[in-house]
Amino acid sequence: MQSNEKFQRNMQKIQSKIEFINKALNYDLSQDQKEWLRTQLTLFTSLFEALQDSATNDEYGQGVSEDLYENIRRVKKKVIFWLKMDSTDVDIFKKLKKEKNETWIPLLDLIPAPERLTEFRNADLWDFSFPCISYTNQELCQFSETIFKEQNVLSEFQISSDTLNKIIKMICFEYNSPTYHNFSHGFNVFQMFYALVKKTELEKVLDKTEIFAALLASLGHDMNHKGYNNAYESKLKTQNSVLYFDSAILESMHASILIRILKDPEINFLEGIPDLAKRNQFRDLVVAVILATDMSKHNKLLKKFTDSVKATVEYRNIKASGESIDKRLEEQAFLMDRPHDKRRILKNIIHACDIGNPCQKFDRYIYWSALLNQEFDYQTKKEAKRGLEVTVFMKYKDPAAFYGGQTFFSKNVVFPLWEQISILFEGASEAVENLQANLKRLEEEKAKATPAN
């Protein structure tokens, strides 16, 4: 893309963000917040006008416009953060759509949001199907705190309750509000992993560094996702696609933001771990787990995981019989006292939680899927608008095609991975049972939605 073209696009994006801030002045915000916004607005408007007047639509102008866009985007993010704390992510998404006079796919009106629990108890967080999408971001932050505290991270890592609260809020802040990849999704993956920890022997075999790193990584694994996938970032030659050489673009960005948060002077968490080896282990685990959520690695990861699970079963059987164990088998099996093996397990199970909606009760699963379909469909609209090749499989067609697509994904992508997890950890079998029940239900829903010829 020519620098002139990029400059023009940045200017359009800045203009739309200025319009957003203008509208935000009418939102239900405090006087202080509005005052701060007015100052920002004056500053941004004058910079925007100066850029327009100077007509520096060359490479230099492009760079300046990119910086301005980045700054104004942070301000929008802050406004949305203020709003979303007291709202669910679905409400925020609908509010923003209505303001832009944009519609959503009809499926989202057909499928109701899951019910909140009539009474919440901490033990509900051990449930694979906890209906987190129906809770406000403030509530999800509180639940996150409860989970971290239950795992004793405060005493283990010498951090104060206040610091923990700041880390969670910073993570929540870094999430945007696309339909699916928002803080609720990050929380969903985090809480599903926690449920696995509580229901299986993971709680016993993982040490506190591993648990804390994996919990943090899962909570923050999609920060700053804008609702477009890696291929889209690549096609558009975004800053991140250039920065990460078109490889695991989004995942690299999510991981780098999390490391930046942990190094923030207000938090200074990483430097607070005095043992250098432990600090490195923590950071490496966080990064490895987030990078493993890249869907393009799924097949390779699953193949190796399946081989190792098979070897583990064989290893356990031979060990139980008292016979001697072959060195190669011992090498290939997962042994829970080897950190490298636990790291591989964590990469697989957090990736499994990331695609784990089909393992939840039907109403929660299908609502998440409808939200994801909305996000996919929106990307195809943007692709068409920008003259890019439209990703056909992401385009929403009708309920029958939707249920058919869900069956394919649940059966061929999600099931094989969760099946292996349930072989390794018996406590995960409930998730596989949910998935099997969902497959039946999907067939029924598809039949209902298919018009008779």
Q: Which residues contribute to the site for Zn ion (CB under 5 A)? A: 222, 354
What residue has token string 């509180």? 142
Q: How far is the CB of 186 from Zn ion (least distance, A)?
A: 7
Pick the closer one to Zn ion by CB: 127 or 222. 222
CB of 188 to Zn ion, least distance (A): 8
Helix (H, G, I), strand (E, B) or coil at 115: coil
Q: Convert 364-389 to b/e letters by CB count within 10 Å (16 or more is b).
A: bbbbbbbbbbbbbbbbbeebeeeeee
**Nearest distance from residue 194's CB to Zn ion, in Å?**
15
DSSP assignments along 63-91, one per residue: HHHHHHHHHHHHHHHHHHHHHHTTS-HHH
How far is residue 248's CA from residue 93's CA, in Å, rounded to a whole number? Answer: 26
Angstrom distance (rounded) from CA 422 to CA 417: 9
Between 174 and 222, whose beta carbon lies closer to Zn ion?
Answer: 222
CB 420 within 8 A of CB 305: yes
CB 292 to Zn ion: min, Å: 11
Structure tokens at 190: 């985090």
Q: Which residue lies nearer to Zn ion by CB, 206 or 372?
A: 372
Secondary structure (3-state) at 200: coil
Phi first, then psi: what are they for 425, rounded to 5°?
A: -130, 110
* CB under 8 A, 24+ apart: contacts of 29-37: 29/79, 29/82, 33/82, 37/75, 37/79
In terms of CB distance, is 233 or 445 closer to Zn ion?
233
Whichever of 224 and 281 has its CB closer to Zn ion, that residue is 224
- Closest approach, Cβ 353 to Zn ion, in A, equals 9
Cβ proximity to Zn ion: between 186 and 405 the closer is: 186
Q: Report, in Å, the least distance between residue 190 CB and Zn ion.
A: 10
Task: Work out how close the CB of 413 gets to Zn ion at its nearest, in angstroms, rounded to a whole number.
Answer: 14
- Measured from the CB of residue 354, what is the shortest distance to Zn ion in angstroms? 4
Residue 80 or 250 with smaller CB distance to Zn ion: 250
CA distance 250 to 231: 10
Q: Is 409 buried (19+), middle (13-18) or exposed (0-12) by CB count in 10 A?
A: middle
Pick between residue 48 and residue 180 the one whose CB is nearest to Zn ion.
Answer: 180
